[in-house]
Structure 1
Amino acid sequence: TATHGAFGAIAFGIGTTQVRDVLATQTMAMESLKVRKIEVNGKLRPGVYAKDVTLHIIRMLGAKGGIGYAYEYSGTTFEHFSMEERMTVCNMAIEGGARCGYVNPDETTFEFLKNRPYSPTGEEWEQSIEEWKSFATDPDAEFDDIIRIDAEDIEPTVTWGISPDHGISIGESIPDPAAADADEKAVIEEALAYMKLPAGTPIKGIPIDVAFIGSCTNGRLSDFREAAKLLKGHKVADGVKAIAVPGSQITAIQCEKEGIAKIFQDAGFEWRAAGCSMCLAMNPDKLVGDQICASSSNRNFKGRQGSPIGRTILMSPIMVAAAAVEGHIADARETFNVTDNSAA
């Protein structure tokens, strides 16, 4: 639901009790949110994508850091992001504890919506644009908090533990509880005990059993286009089960038209029907035992992918593709000789 924040909407999921209230009264009681502006400026390095941006933010602020907040994503990085890249980041505002995340509507938003089914047309379209522009934050608006991040400081990021804020860059090592304070020590020890990962070991090189590209976070056309461009000519490593699942029927159809599905299949991926799949262990798409999965999804909680002892490592689709090819957590920039970003 929070994905819609990419369009400048205030969008968040609600529970069954709140659904009852909405159906009965068309209203819902909630406390006023504080607003945190997260400003990312500059150009991302080659091999760094929107998923890395959101994992970096969550690592920086914590999985509970956004409680009570709405996140406004801004800065030159977001201004140059495509709508699909903005969707990826807004999708995971919830994993950072925020009630919602949004990007102010701009020309990128309007161009994306133009001529789509159910979009207004003619004079109504022009009127709608003026209305949507009015939703944007005023230039002199005050925020409860402002976070500024240099895009060049963001590296390909992966998780090592059991919460989305357990993130490190691909060049870092798994945290050592012996080097942490008392509160962090217990958290790290619990995570490492579940993940069965050795403290202080580089995350790069950790073997995987399953690779999953898909979900509402990274199952879009641009994700599959970029991964296919890099994956072409490569093969999934022996012993790795690789699954590609488009996030929608429209994405699936377009991938098949463009030959993307065939590239994945030729590489050794299973090309599945559109859906949620292994993100939350839908139908038979589940981890078995303590299998470890390189996943482009959004949550790495205990048992999230079906097995009560299954292990999930979150990363971008390109990093998942690299892990599938190498058979272990790898730096996609090295695996595919990435020198630019054509999509994210």
Structure 2
Amino acid sequence: MYAKDVIMKIIQDLGVDGGVGHVYEYGGPAIEALDMEGRLAVCNMSIEGGARAGYINPDETTYEYLEGREYVPEGEAFEERKAYWESIRSEPDAEYDDVVTIDADGIDPLVTWGINPGQVIEISEPVPHPDDFEARTDREAAESALEHMEINPGESMLGYDVDVAFLGTCTNGRVSDFAEAAKVLDGETVADDVRALAVPGSETVRKECEARGIDETFINAGFQWRRAGCSMCLAMNDDALEGDEVCASSSNRNFVGRQARKTPTVLMNP
């Protein structure tokens, strides 16, 4: 289970409008176990769940990530900042508009089957039927999704053919994302009929990946290794799907027209 699976599970359960008018604060063992880059991925997709922002209380994982980084105070000044950050942690008796508990134990990797980030299933689950949803709007959204994705209820996303693989974006374009994907790619080759793009989320990420040789693993596997940018996330510049191509994407949005006019997008972890 990765951070992307955690936030996709949250959006699946609460919906794309679950956070409207609120800020999400994330906590609990699953969140605390994430490294800082995983936490960034979770908070990044709060907006896809309707929230104005996402927040995780600072802890030692936060401070270890920050210490020694560019623009971060050093020595005594850093300790002073830590004291301030500790002062804005949520108190144990803090009152919330609502508290939702989600069991993250045993979550399989999740993927989208539809046309919004809330239309999610575990990879082992079948695509749902519109009648599975109680609300009329959800049933109508499911019908539109099935038509756009050209899939049928009960089918598995495991057999869903893709033409493009895209790894990157502000959601999953960090060093740890590329390092984890490189473990899978090492010694493997992208299928001849698949176009694969790796686009770091920043130039800092790109340089660190290249310093660690991660880029070579992607290149050797058949990926295009790019400069940092938004790229295929929103069909930036020439990085767009073509014709009826289907994209497996680590980005955060799968709306119709996001990566090209009418092409399907399947969101997933890196």
- Are residues 1:234 and 2:172 paired? no
- Are residues 1:172 and 2:125 paired? yes
* Match 2:168 to one of 214, 232, 250: 214
Using a 3 Å threshold, how does the CA distance of structure 1 residues 133 and 268 change in structure 2: closer, same or farther? same
* Match 1:145 to one of 82, 98, 111: 98
Partner-residue secondary structure (3-state), 2:220: helix
Which consecutive unaligned segments of at least 5 residues does structure 1 have? 1-47, 318-344
Measured against aligned partners, the alpha-carbon deviations of 1:124-163 in whole angstroms (never above 9, x if no partner) come to 2111110110010011111111111222142200001110
- Are residues 1:247 and 2:195 paired? no
Residues matched between the structures, number: 269
Corresponding residue number in structure 1 for 2:75 = 122
Whole-angstrom CA distance in 1 between matches of 2:212 and 2:72: 26
- Are residues 1:85 and 2:38 paired? yes
- Are residues 1:194 and 2:137 paired? no
Question: Which moves more between the two structures, 193-202 or 258-267?
Answer: 193-202
Whole-angstrom CA distance in 2 between matches of 1:93 and 1:278: 21
* Match 1:265 to one of 204, 219, 228: 219
Whole-angstrom CA distance in 2 between matches of 1:142 and 1:82: 27
Partner-residue secondary structure (3-state), 2:102: strand
| CA RMSD of superposed structures (Å) | 1.2
Whole-angstrom CA distance in 1 between matches of 2:135 and 2:17: 18
Measured against aligned partners, the alpha-carbon deviations of 1:36-94 in whole angstroms (never above 9, x if no partner) come to xxxxxxxxxxxx10000000000000001110111110012222211100000000000
Partner-residue secondary structure (3-state), 2:255: coil
Displacement of 1:179? 4.4
Partner-residue secondary structure (3-state), 1:145: coil
Corresponding residue number in structure 1 for 2:8 = 55
Displacement of 1:177? 2.2
Corresponding residue number in structure 1 for 2:107 = 154
Corresponding residue number in structure 2 for 1:276 = 230
Displacement of 1:290? 2.0
Instruction: State the TM-score, normalizing by the size of structure 1.
Output: 0.76
Whole-angstrom CA distance in 2 between matches of 1:182 and 1:118: 49
Partner-residue secondary structure (3-state), 1:158: strand
Using a 3 Å threshold, how does the CA distance of structure 1 residues 253 and 175 change in structure 2: closer, same or farther? same
Partner-residue secondary structure (3-state), 1:250: helix
Measured against aligned partners, the alpha-carbon deviations of 1:254-282 in whole angstroms (never above 9, x if no partner) come to 11111111111111111111111101111
Which consecutive unaligned segments of at least 5 residues does structure 2 have? none
Displacement of 1:285? 0.5
The correspondence of residues 325-344 of structure 1 with structure 2, limited to 5 A, is: none
**Identity across the alignment (%):** 54
- Are residues 1:107 and 2:60 paired? yes
- Are residues 1:72 and 2:32 paired? no
Displacement of 1:301? 0.4
Whole-angstrom CA distance in 2 between matches of 1:162 and 1:80: 30
Corresponding residue number in structure 2 for 1:331 = none
Partner-residue secondary structure (3-state), 2:197: strand
Question: Which moves more between the two structures, 250-259 or 220-229?
Answer: 250-259
Using a 3 Å threshold, how does the CA distance of structure 1 residues 156 and 254 change in structure 2: closer, same or farther? same
Code of the residue aligned with 2:87 in structure 1: it is S
* Match 2:89 to one of 136, 160, 182: 136
Corresponding residue number in structure 2 for 1:19 = none
Partner-residue secondary structure (3-state), 2:108: coil
Whole-angstrom CA distance in 2 between matches of 1:241 and 1:54: 27
Code of the residue aligned with 1:257 in structure 2: it is A
